[in-house]
Copies of this chain bind each other. A is one copy, B any other.
Amino acid sequence: MEKEISQAVIRRMPRYYRYLGEMLEEGVERISSNELSSRMNVTASQIRQDLNNFGGFGQQGYGYNVKFLYEEIGKILGLNQKHNIIVVGAGNLGQALANYVKFEKLGFVIIALFDVNPALVGKEIRGIKIHMLDELEEFLKEHEVDIAALTMPKSKADAIANRLVDSGVHAIWNFAHVDLELTEDVVVENVHLSDSLMQLSYNIVKNQKEKEKDK
Contacts and interface: CB of A to CB of B under 8 A. Distances in A.
B170 A187 contact: no
A95 interface: yes
Interface residues of A, number: 54
Interface in A189-203: 189, 191-203
Interface string A155-183: 00000000000000011010001010000
Nearest to A96: B92
Contacts of A119: none
Contact of A78 (B14, B78, B201): B201
Contacts of A7: 199
Majority secondary structure of chain A interface residues (helix, strand, loop or mixed): helix
A197 B92 contact: no
A198 B102 contact: no
A95 B94 CA distance: 11
A147 B198 contact: no
Nearest to A95: B92
Nearest to A98: B92
A207 B187 contact: yes
Interface of A: 7, 10-11, 13-15, 17-18, 41, 76-79, 81, 83, 91-93, 95-97, 99-100, 102-103, 106, 108, 146-147, 170-171, 173, 177, 179, 185, 187, 189, 191-205, 207, 211
